């Protein structure tokens, strides 16, 4: 198939590009390097050294003989995106090309507006490009489980059957986003659903949990093909942060009581889920929603898992509770369905001490690249509630 990957320089985009290329598909990637710019702006970087996109594409071709085409530009630029779609004529579009951070969206008015513009306008432009040039293409959009929030009922996959005043209907599952980033993802879902109902486009929304891990079959071929590993408070995930803290002797920073429960999955499973969606496309006019995760953990459970795994590697790790910079429930009911991808054939890789050991080993290899001040949470959902001295004092490298 002809496959267009938006955000093809990113944490998931680059491994996805290699996976589809290795499977024999014709791959084009688009990126404007926003993630690299955002890191440069805050003087942070990926823990793993990552080569430029063009260098990685060249290494990939040298190793495999396979070509990946790149186009540099922003999908908020409608003219540029139309040109890319018209030239590539993709049969599948994998859309990772968004600002992915809740803390970044909550940092200031400027970053909130940038998040909404990047995500909502970029996706709207894509829908119009699809309607104009590839109306039969299948859009695979990376959503987030964060769109649902933490309702006190089971979370279904996208839709729920409602009975009200003696009448029944199947409607989109209620959304309760926890940040302005998550709000932008809800807007995306609404716009994509509209485009499928009104224009007859076909789309699959992958409401993804928190992804961990950096090694795939393709990145393991050569260190120069590595994908990024973010651990900072803006773009890093909680498991990455805990593993870095364990290696550098920093207490594991559990926000509040640590009862916040979410879905998690291995990066290998992310790639397989996208493959399964591409191999089994939505029908014309259909908006499918898959909840893309394999396990559920609370933050406290993850901290204990990292502590226990680190102890086996002779690391003395402590866990400390810090005032939660976010406005969220710290103890709540959480039970989400994830059956649809399993029915398509997903065989999950589960998180265990062996995998945590692997992540810890990766962190130890690049320990000298850790920027200590970047770990401490500075972005507060309600800035008036926390005083500057309430959080862990920053440490410099």
pLDDT of 147-190, one tens digit each?
Answer: 999 999 999 999 999 999 999 999 999 999 999 999 999 999 99
For residue 328, is pLDDT > 80?
A: yes
Q: Where are the domains of the chain?
A: 2-209+266-293
Which token pair is 155? 């979370």
Rounded to an integer, the average pLDDT of 139-145 is 98
Q: How confident is the model at residue 387 (pLDDT cuts 50, 70, 90)?
A: very low
Q: Where are the alpha helices (DSSP H) in 249-330?
A: 267-279, 299-311
Among candidates 345, 256, 360, which has minimal Cα distance to 308? 360
Pairing of strands 319-322, 252-255: parallel
- 282, pLDDT greater than 60: yes
User: Could you read off the pLDDT of 214-239 as tens digits, one per residue?
Assistant: 999 999 999 999 999 999 999 999 99
pLDDT of residue 383: 80
Q: How far is CA 75 from the centre of its chain?
A: 18
Given pLDDT bands bounded at 50, 70 and 90, which one contains residue 390?
very low
Is the confidence at residue 389, as pLDDT, over 50?
no
For residue 16, is pLDDT > 80?
A: yes
Distance CA 359, CA 244 (A): 9
Identify each DSSP E strand in the chain by its residue range. 2-6, 26-31, 68-72, 92-95, 138-144, 159-164, 167-172, 202-208, 210-212, 252-255, 261-266, 287-292, 295-298, 319-322
pLDDT in tens, 200-213: 999 999 999 999 99
pLDDT at residue 385 in the model: 57
* Percent of the chain topping pLDDT 70: 96
Residues marked as catalytic? 144, 181, 185
pLDDT at 388 over 90: no
How confident is the prediction for the chain on average, in pLDDT? 95
The pairing of beta strand 261-266 with beta strand 295-298: antiparallel
Q: Is the dihedral of CA 188, 279, 349, 23 positive or negative?
A: negative
Two tokens, residue 266:
């291995």
User: What is the average pLDDT across 19-48?
Assistant: 98
pLDDT tier at 391, thresholds 50, 70, 90: very low
Helix axes 238-248, 299-311, angle to 10 degrees: 30
Residues 360-376 have a mean pLDDT of 95
Kind of pairing between the strands at 202-208 and 138-144: parallel
Q: How many CA atoms lie within 13 A of 364 on its CB side?
A: 12
CATH topology of domain 2-209+266-293: Rossmann fold (3.40.50)
């Amino acid at each position: 198939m002809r496959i267009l990957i938006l955000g093809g320089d990113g944490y998931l985009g680059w491994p996805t590009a290699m996976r589809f290329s290795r499977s024999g598909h014709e791959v084009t990637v688009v990126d404007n390097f926003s993630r690299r710019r955002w890191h440069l702006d805050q003087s942070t970087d990926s823990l793993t050294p990552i080569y430029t996109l063009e260098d990685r594409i060249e290494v990939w071709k040298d190793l495999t003989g396979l070509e990946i085409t790149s186009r540099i530009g922003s999908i908020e630029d409608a003219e540029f995106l139309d040109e890319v779609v018209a030239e590539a004529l993709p049969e599948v579009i994998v859309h990772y090309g968004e600002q992915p951070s809740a803390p970044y969206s909550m940092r200031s008015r400027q970053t909130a507006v940038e998040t909404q513009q990047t995500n909502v306008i970029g996706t709207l432009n894509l829908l119009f490009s699809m309607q104009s040039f590839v109306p039969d293409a299948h859009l695979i959009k990376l959503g987030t489980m964060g769109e649902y929030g933490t309702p006190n009922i089971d979370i279904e996959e996208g839709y729920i059957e409602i009975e009200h005043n003696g009448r029944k209907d199947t409607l989109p599952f209620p959304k309760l986003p926890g940040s302005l980033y998550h709000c932008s993802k809800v807007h995306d879902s609404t716009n994509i659903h509209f485009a499928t109902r009104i224009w007859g486009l076909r789309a699959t929304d992958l409401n993804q949990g928190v992804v961990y891990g950096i090694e795939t079959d393709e990145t393991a071929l050569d260190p120069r093909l590595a994908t990024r590993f973010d651990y900072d408070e803006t773009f890093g995930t909680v498991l990455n942060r805990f593993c870095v803290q364990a290696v550098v002797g920093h207490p594991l920073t559990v926000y509040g009581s640590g009862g916040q429960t979410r879905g998690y999955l291995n990066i290998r499973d992310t790639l397989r889920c996208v493959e399964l969606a591409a191999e089994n496309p939505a029908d014309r006019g259909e908006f499918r929603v898959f909840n893309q995760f394999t396990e559920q953990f609370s933050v406290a459970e993850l901290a204990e898992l990292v502590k226990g795994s680190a102890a086996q590697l002779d690391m003395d790790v402590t866990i400390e509770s810090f005032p939660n910079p976010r406005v969220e429930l710290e103890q709540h009911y959480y039970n989400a369905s994830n059956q649809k991808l399993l029915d398509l054939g997903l065989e999950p890789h589960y998180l265990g001490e062996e995998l945590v050991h692997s992540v810890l080993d990766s962190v130890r290899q690049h320990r000298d690249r850790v920027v200590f001040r970047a770990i401490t949470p500075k972005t507060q959902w309600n800035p008036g509630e926390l005083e500057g001295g309430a959080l862990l004092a920053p440490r410099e490298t």
